[in-house]
Amino acid sequence: MLYLWIPFLLTVFFVWATILETVAHFLIHGSSFNATPDNSNPSIHNRVAIPLLLRAACAVSFLAAFYTYLPEHPIYFIFISALWITVYTDLNYMLISRLVSLYLVPVGFIASALGLLAISLTEAVLAAAFAGGFLMTTNAIFKIFKGHDGLGQGDIELLAFIGAWIGFLGTWCTIVIASTLGTIVGAAYLLWTRQQTRILPFGPFLAFGALMFLRYSETLGLLFF
């Protein structure tokens, strides 16, 4: 029955991924799936393959969670959903809604206090403060040397949200993974186009780093410490 159960779950999660994408567009423009992306950012709606790949990746991430940490901590379903909404909004509009980042920080505090997360309330509060403060400091230093912001306020709030839900170790692993992957993608873009870009959505990299930590927390913990 396993060969039938996994495709069924993937189908369910793919449908959920489509719903999350619709929610993402609604949060930015107050309209549904056919909202027009900001012209300042290359639209991925003009190409069919990329949105489908994103939804497939979202479905796979939920499937991996279903067979690992979700049974023990089902509240992370909210966390994963919020991360994927930020991926959709940041890639399409270079924006991250506070409804799926900053406003979910107190939810993380409450969940940790109730024992629904794998971290304590104290760690959740301190990790959120550390995460936001770290990126604010990094951005301030970057602005001194470059003359412009290197990170958006949405990225800072997103990492604070991540810290509130997965703690210090998860925050640090997220930063390392996101920074490494962002550097690789930025360098690849520069080599491919021969043009340096000042604008690279960092939210998807942070989301990927957080998802990787949740899936491989024990391995990453040993690797980084």
10-residue mean pLDDT profile of the chain (225 residues): values are 82 96 88 42 52 94 94 96 96 92 96 95 96 89 78 90 96 93 84 68 94 86 62
Q: CB-based contacts of 122: which residues, under 8 Å, 6+ apart?
A: none
pLDDT value of residue 2 = 61
pLDDT value of residue 44 = 42
Range of the domain at 15: 2-224
Segment holding 151, helix H or strand E: none
Give burial (CB, 10 Å; 0-12/13-18/19+) of 207. Answer: buried
pLDDT value of residue 45 = 44
Task: Please write the tens of the pLDDT for every residue from 37-74.
Answer: 444 444 444 455 778 999 999 999 999 999 999 999 99
CA angle 61, 62, 64 (to 5 degrees): 65
Q: What is the DSSP letter of 98?
A: G
Q: Which of 69, 99, 175 is nearest to 130 (CA)?
A: 175
pLDDT value of residue 50 = 79
How many domains would you assign to the chain? 1
